[in-house]
Amino acid sequence: MIIGIGDDCAVLRIPAGHEVLVTTDFTIEGVHFRRAWHPPEVVGFRCLARGLSDIAAMGGEPQAAFLSLAVPRNLPQAWINRFMKGLLGLASCFDVTLAGGDTSESPQNVLADIVVVGFVPKRHAILRSKARPGDRIYVTGELGGAAAALEKFMAGRKALPKDFPRHFHPDPRVKVGQFLRTERLASAMIDLSDGLSTDLAHICQESGVGAEILEAAIPRARIGTKENEVDLDRALHGGEDYELLFTARRGKRVPNRIAGVAVTLIGEITRRRRIVLKSRNGKPSPLRPQGWQHFRK
C-alpha cells in the first residue's frame, strides 16, 4: 500500500472508490503531558491514539501515520526509544504503518505532531453536520475517567495506569466507528476529546440544531479500587476520554454494545438551537460548553 519512508514524500495507495481522511494533532510537553507524570510509552501511545480516534469519528480505516518529533538536546535516547515503543505498539494493533515524518531539535520541550491518514468509501464519511431534530444521541464507554486522572495529578498525588486506563491508554474506537458506518446507523459523529459539553456543541453548531441530554443517563467512569463514579462535572466537561459521541435517526436500532464497547442513549437532538441538561427530577438547565484545558484544575 505504501512506498513510504526514504523519499521526499510517502506514496499511499487508496482503494478505488474511497476518499482520503487526514487528521493532525499536537502533543506538547507541559500542555498534553508531563515527563514527571507520564511514562514515555504512554506519551507515545496517547500521541497516536488522538489521531486514530479522529479517524474512528469519521467511520474510517486508518492506514498510515506520520510523526514529527522535536526533542531537546539533553533528552535521553532511552526516552525517545520508549516513546516510539508506545507509539509503534499501538500502530501495530491497528495495522497502521509509520510512513514518514520529521525530526528536529527543540529548544526546551518535547513536541510531537502526529498525522494519521486513512480512507473511507466515497461520500460515506460520518460528518458532524448531519444531525437532525429527533435524532437520538449516543455515547460509547464511560465519561470523565481521563479528567479524573489529571485531577489527581493536579492535587499532587500519583494516578496509576491501572486505575485510569482511559487516561493512560485510551482505546480509539475505530471498530465501533466502522460498524456505525457499515450498518448506516450514525447520522453524525465526533470523538470526545474536548469533553461532552464542548463536543456536543460542535455537532449542534455544525448541524444547526440543539440537544437535550438526560443527566441520569450519562455513563460516568468508575475509578479506583472502590469503583467510585466520577462527579457529574467530570463526565460532562472532562476531556480526552476519546469515546465516540454520535446521533442516529429515531427509528434506527442501535445495539447497546458494539465491538465489546457499551453504547448508551443519553438524549435527543432538538430543533431549538440550545443544549439543555435535564436533571433527575426533570428540571432543565442550559449545558454550556466549558472547553477543555488539559492542566486546568
Q: Which residues is 19 bridged to in the sheet? A: 120
Distance CA 218, CA 142 (A): 8
Q: Are strands 97-105 and 61-71 parallel, antiparallel or unpaired?
A: parallel
Please state the length of the chain.
297
* Options 63-71, 79-87, 144-152, 273-281: segment touching a copy of itself (CB under 8 A): 63-71
Q: From the list 23, 140, 187, 290, which residue makes contact with a copy of itself (rule: CB under 8 A)?
A: 23
Burial of 285 (0-12, 13-18, 19+ CB in 10 A): exposed
Residue 64 in the binding site for a copy of itself (CB under 8 A): yes
Residue 120 in the binding site for a copy of itself (CB under 8 A): yes
Minimal distance in Å, beta carbon 87 to a copy of itself? 15
- Identity of the residue, 96 or 111, whose beta carbon is nearer to a copy of itself in the bound complex: 111
Q: Are strands 275-278 and 210-214 parallel, antiparallel or unpaired?
A: parallel
Minimal distance in Å, beta carbon 19 to a copy of itself? 5
3-state secondary structure of 110: coil
- Identity of the residue, 12 or 262, whose beta carbon is nearer to a copy of itself in the bound complex: 12
Q: From the list 107, 156, 251, 282, which residue makes contact with a copy of itself (rule: CB under 8 A)?
A: 107
The cell for 21 is: 481522511
Residue 220 in the binding site for a copy of itself (CB under 8 A): no
Residue 289 in the binding site for a copy of itself (CB under 8 A): no
Q: From the list 43, 47, 48, 60, which residue makes contact with a copy of itself (rule: CB under 8 A)?
A: 60
CA 82, chain centre distance (Å): 23
Residue 70 in the binding site for a copy of itself (CB under 8 A): yes
Distance CA 144, CA 195 (A): 8
Residue 36 in the binding site for a copy of itself (CB under 8 A): no
Distance CA 193, CA 140 (A): 13
3-state secondary structure of 204: helix
Residue 104 in the binding site for a copy of itself (CB under 8 A): yes
Q: How far, CA to CA in Å, does 200 sit from each of 122, 197, 243, 267, 273?
A: 25, 5, 12, 11, 12
Residue 155 in the binding site for a copy of itself (CB under 8 A): no
Contact 235, 196 (CB under 8 A): yes
Distance CA 46, CA 52 (A): 10
Q: From the list 84, 127, 214, 261, which residue makes contact with a copy of itself (rule: CB under 8 A)?
A: 127
Residue 128 in the binding site for a copy of itself (CB under 8 A): yes
- Identity of the residue, 172 or 267, whose beta carbon is nearer to a copy of itself in the bound complex: 172
Residue 5 in the binding site for a copy of itself (CB under 8 A): no
Contact 212, 286 (CB under 8 A): no
- Identity of the residue, 135 or 215, whose beta carbon is nearer to a copy of itself in the bound complex: 135
* Options 73-81, 83-91, 94-102, 275-283: segment touching a copy of itself (CB under 8 A): 94-102
Residue ranges that bind a copy of itself, judged by CB under 8 A: 3, 6-14, 16, 19-26, 28-32, 53-55, 57-58, 60, 64, 66, 68, 70, 99-109, 111, 113, 115, 117-118, 120, 122, 125, 127-129, 189-191, 206
